[in-house]
Structure 1
C-alpha cells in the first residue's frame, strides 16, 4: 500500500513538493491552516518564509492539544487549567492574525 502511495506521489511532482514543504513546516502549520476556514495557501506561504511564524503555529497547536487534554481530565484543577489554556490560545491567535496581516495575508475567516 505504501509503495502505491509513493508511486502516485511521484507521478505528480508538484504535489510531492507541496507535501514535502508541509511536512517540513510541521504539524503546527497544518493545525493553523485547518483552524481557519480559508487561507491555507497564504498561511503555508508565510510559514515557508518565517521560522518564528512556524514556531507560533506550533505553540498554538500545542496549547489547543493541552486544553483538550484538560477537558478530558477529572482533576480538581481542570476548569482553571482550561481557562488558562484558553487565555493562551486567544493570545497566540491574536499574534498569528497580526503576523498574517503584517505580511499582507489577512484578515481571515475564523471557524467560530
Structure 2
C-alpha cells in the first residue's frame, strides 16, 4: 500500500505507520505527500541547475518544501490526538 509516501516517511520515520494509515483513508493527505515528494525533486533539480534563474527557483522550492513539511507535520499531530468524550456526571 504505497501512495508515494516514501519521502514523507523518510522525513518522519517515527510516524511511518501513521502516514500509511492516513494515506490509506485520506485523498488530501495522499496528494499532500505526493506534492511533498515532487517539490523536493524540483528543489534538488534547481540546486544543481546552471540556469540563470537557479537561485530564485531553488529558494521557491525550499519554501514550498518547508510549507508542505509543516502541513504534513500538522496532519500527523492531528491524527495522534485522542478525543475523549466525557460522560455526564450523575
Range into which the TM-score falls when normalised by the shorter chain: 0.7 to 0.9
Show CA shifts across 1:13-71 (max 9, x none).
Answer: xxxxxxxx12xx2x2x1111112232211111111111100000000000000010011
Match of residue 102, structure 1, among 61, 74, 78: 78
Deviating 4+ runs (over 3 angstroms): none
CA RMSD of aligned residues (A): 1.2
Q: How many residues were matched structurally?
A: 81
1:101, 1:39 → 2: CA distance? 10
Match of residue 17, structure 2, among 30, 41, 56: 41
Residue equivalent to 1:6:
none
Match of residue 34, structure 2, among 35, 45, 58: 58
Q: Which runs of 5+ in 1 are unaligned?
A: 1-20, 106-112
Q: Which runs of 5+ in 2 are unaligned?
A: 82-90
Higher helix share: 1
